[in-house]
Structure 1
């Protein structure tokens, strides 16, 4: 199981209304290693990026210019939860 699969599974278990969408690419050679996370209680989305779906991930949010690196699965989960306002920082 890739790290992204563990991240998604853990988040969906805790936040069933969370939606996750992987970037759809036009050509198989393009990098589809971007996942968008959205929750109905949040006006913006966050994304994780990793070409292979494994740590480290680059984290970004549409709320501001925040960019961070998640070195572990738990760090990625925390960034997403906080980034979507589902928990305090």
Structure 2
């Protein structure tokens, strides 16, 4: 575990919330962890997504407060400002990686 579980009630106030809402509606048992940092100046806008027992299949980095750009990484890497594109890509990658 690289971070702490990010619950559906937790919000960044940015568009990444839309991405996570979309994914939670479409992926049963989705796990989202937010990176734990040790220093206040460290970037904690890093999320690990997966399904049990593999909680870190896809990584999403955002700007502060869940703002774009979204940098999505697994075996590939994309950068997008569009929450729907981020959710669709992440869902497709998770489907491939868990098949």
Q: More deviation in 44-53 or 25-34?
A: 44-53
1:37 maps to 2:49: yes
Aligned residues: 83
* Runs of at least 5 residues in structure 2 that lack an aligned partner in the other structure: 1-12
Q: Secondary structure at the match of 2:68?
A: coil
Q: What is the TM-score normalised by the length of structure 2?
A: 0.73
How well do the aligned residues superpose, as a CA RMSD in angstroms?
A: 2.0
Question: How does the TM-score come out when normalised to structure 1?
Answer: 0.80
User: Which whole-Å CA distance do the structure 2 matches of 1:8 and 1:26 have between them?
Assistant: 24
User: Does 1:55 find its partner at 2:65?
Assistant: no
Looking at secondary structure, tell me which structure has more strand per residue: 2
Does the CA contact (< 8 Å) of 2:50 and 2:56 recur in 1?
Answer: yes
In the alignment, structure 1 segments of 5+ residues that lack a partner are: none
Larger helix percent: 2
Please list every run of at least 4 consecutive aligned residues from structure 1 whose deviation after the TM superposition is greater than 4 angstroms: 41-44
